């Protein structure tokens, strides 16, 4: 006699599961902190090079220090790339359950 496997739960592939909220937030915080550290470095370099290199070079570094917070906030608020959507893994030889027929339904 065949065993009825319709009562078994669906199996999902772990590689297609979306990233958890805590992982996403941790990743965005890490990216933000790295970008703010880079901004601090750019600001210090601007101050250290002012008057020692051509003005255009110092101004370019200063513009980077001013623009970086804007891009950091945009990237921190952007949801990180998900790994995909959860999808059922088909089992060989087993058909998915069908919806029950209701009385009076159209065929």
Residue 31 structural domain:
19-77
Q: pLDDT confidence of 78, banded at 50, 70, 90?
A: confident
Q: Does residue 12 belong to any structural domain of this protein? A: no
What are the structure tokens assigned to 25, written together?
């937030």
Q: What is the mean pLDDT of residues 97-101?
A: 74
For residue 100, pLDDT over 90 is answered with no
Q: Does residue 60 belong to any structural domain of this protein? A: yes
Q: Quick: pLDDT tens for 15-58.
A: 666 678 888 888 889 989 999 999 999 999 999 999 999 999 99
The domain tally of the chain equals 1
Q: Does residue 57 belong to any structural domain of this protein? A: yes
Q: Does residue 56 belong to any structural domain of this protein? A: yes
Q: Does residue 63 belong to any structural domain of this protein? A: yes
Q: Does residue 1 belong to any structural domain of this protein? A: no
Q: Does residue 37 belong to any structural domain of this protein? A: yes
């Amino acid at each position: 006699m065949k065993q009825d496997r319709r009562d078994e739960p669906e199996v999902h592939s772990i590689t297609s599961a979306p990233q958890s909220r805590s992982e996403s937030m941790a990743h965005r915080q890490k990216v933000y902190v790295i970008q703010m550290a880079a901004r601090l470095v750019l600001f210090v370099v601007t101050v250290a090079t002012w008057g020692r290199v051509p003005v255009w070079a110092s101004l370019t570094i200063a513009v980077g220090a001013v623009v970086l917070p804007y891009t950091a906030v945009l990237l921190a608020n952007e949801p990180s790339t998900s790994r995909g959507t959860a999808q059922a893994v088909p089992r060989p030889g087993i058909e998915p359950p069908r919806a029950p027929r209701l009385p009076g339904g159209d065929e």
